[in-house]
């Protein structure tokens, strides 16, 4: 490995180290209570070093959430899509979405709960990773409408109903782990199946 390649890798590793430290501090101490200096102290670098990679704390939060959304998108896109049975793809995608949130609860809450409190919206600007995640959902809904599985022809409303269902059960399972839930997979599957059945009616 040449000098140029080694420096590029070291730069990438430091950037990831900064993101990991910021993610942990944002979740554990609250975004408003974390300073760039506190992040720098955690990784034992000067604040000046962090500013070489990120413009400010808001840019750091945005970058952490983009990384989470990209991982979510990759998780969904790895699913085998069955165009002959878009409902089955929708079921698998809904289950994968909830499981992603439960596997990475801190990242999930940072992206969908904490970030919107301090930055306008969910980062769904045109061309953004967030928009691509929602476009994935829109495409699946469109396939169901085109095949006349869903009789509601409004893609946006139908997509938002589906997201509301999976997002809701994800947050409840994250926030209230001690609640006497029924068997987890049964709960998730029933939420998804009930929502789909309602949209097919």
pTM of whole model > 0.75?
A: yes
- Return d(Cα 181, Cα 34) in angstroms, integer: 34
Mean pLDDT estimate for the chain: 89
Domain ranges of the chain: 1-54, 62-200
Which pLDDT belongs to residue 124?
Answer: 66
Q: For the domain 1-54, what is the CATH superfamily, name and number?
A: Homeodomain-like (1.10.10.60)
**Per-residue pLDDT at 54 exceeds 90:** yes
Mean pLDDT, residues 43-70: 91
Class of domain 62-200: mainly alpha
Which pLDDT belongs to residue 166?
Answer: 97
Which pLDDT belongs to residue 120?
Answer: 63
């Amino acid at each position: 490995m040449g000098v140029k390649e080694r420096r590029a890798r070291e730069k990438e590793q430091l950037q990831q180290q900064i993101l990991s430290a910021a993610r942990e501090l944002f979740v554990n101490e609250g975004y408003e209570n974390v300073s760039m200096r506190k992040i720098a102290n955690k990784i034992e670098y000067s604040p000046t070093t962090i500013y070489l990679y990120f413009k400010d704390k808001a840019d750091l939060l945005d970058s952490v959430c983009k990384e989470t959304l990209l991982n979510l998108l990759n998780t969904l896109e790895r699913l085998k899509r069955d165009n002959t049975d878009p409902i089955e793809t929708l079921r698998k995608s809904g289950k994968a979405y909830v499981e992603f949130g439960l596997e990475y609860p801190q990242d999930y809450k940072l992206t969908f709960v904490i970030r919107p409190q301090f930055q306008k919206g969910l980062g769904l600007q045109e061309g953004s990773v967030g928009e691509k995640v929602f476009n994935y959902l829109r495409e699946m809904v469109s396939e169901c409408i085109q095949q006349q599985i869903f009789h509601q022809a409004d893609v946006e409303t139908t997509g938002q109903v589906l997201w509301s269902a999976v997002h809701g059960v994800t947050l409840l399972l994250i926030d209230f782990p001690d609640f006497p839930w029924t068997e987890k997979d049964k709960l998730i599957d029933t939420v998804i199946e009930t929502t789909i059945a309602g949209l097919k009616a």
